[in-house]
Amino acid sequence: MKSVIIAATQNKNKIREIEAITSQFGMSIISRDEAGIAKVEIEEDGETFEENSCKKAYEIMKMCGKTTIADDSGLEVDCLDGAPGVYSARFAGCDGDDEANNRKLIGLIKDVPYEERTGRFVSVITMVFPDGETISVRGEVEGHIVLERKGSNGFGYDPLFVPLGYDKTFGELEAEVKNKISHRANALEILKKRLQQREEL
């Protein structure tokens, strides 16, 4: 029987990616709506992915009293000193406008040589239990940023990000491939090990 975890995020794309991975670990993810949790906006005012991820998970756990999982993720571009970072989803000003965010990023790095357009996707996943116990893990995937959107899979900056060792963007890779190598997959793999250690105590 699968254990049911509440997703603090309301991003359906993230939930789908997390579910694709956690289902392998015997964990079923349900959204806040499915859990009957009130529609509230949790301000992501942290300066790090860790701060935002922990805040989202803890606040939703307090509301529902059930184990909750939260993901805070984004793209760090080296030639932009780590931007957009925690502001990835609202880089161009409007939260969740992928087109505008991609356009702004391309405009900022269009004169930078490909070899210097390095960066990484970061995912910090936090699981908070009803007793307050917290597990927070970080996953990353390194790569390069291209100046032309390629592929229609994924979301966010996926069409601009080519992971190291590949010649396709996340937007071009099949979901099965991305879900094995992504920052989120790496974070969830670490989470799996932490949960296994927890059961052994």
Q: What is the pLDDT of residues 43-100, one digit of tens each?
A: 888 999 999 999 999 999 999 899 999 999 999 999 999 999 999 999 998 888 999 9
pLDDT at 159 over 60: yes
* pLDDT given at position 201: 61
* pLDDT given at position 99: 95
For the entire predicted model, the pTM comes to 0.90
Chain centroid to CA 143: how far?
Answer: 16
Indicate the pairing of strand 161-163 with strand 68-77: unpaired
Cα-trace Rg, the chain: 17
* pLDDT given at position 28: 87
Q: Residue holding tokens 């995937």? A: 141
* pLDDT given at position 181: 95
CATH at 186: 3.90.950.10
Region 188-200: what's the mean pLDDT? 84
Please say if 72 is a catalytic residue: yes
Could you tell me the CA-to-CA distances from 125 to 30, 35, 114, 121, 150 in Å, in that order? Answer: 16, 20, 30, 13, 27
* pLDDT given at position 14: 83
Task: Place 1 in a pLDDT band, splitting at 50, 70 and 90.
Answer: low
Task: Place 11 in a pLDDT band, splitting at 50, 70 and 90.
Answer: confident
Rounded Cα distance, 190 and 147, in Å: 32
Count of the separate structural domains present in the chain: 1
Region 19-39: what's the mean pLDDT? 84
Owning domain of residue 45: 3-200
Q: In the predicted model, what is the mean pLDDT of the chain?
A: 91
* pLDDT given at position 49: 97
- Choosing from 71, 72, 98, 158, which is the catalytic residue? 72
Percentage of the residues of the chain whose pLDDT score is greater than 70: 99
Region 164-182: what's the mean pLDDT? 94
* pLDDT given at position 81: 97
Question: What is the side-by-side strand order in the sheet with 118-128?
Answer: 27-30, 3-7, 68-77, 118-128, 134-145, 161-163
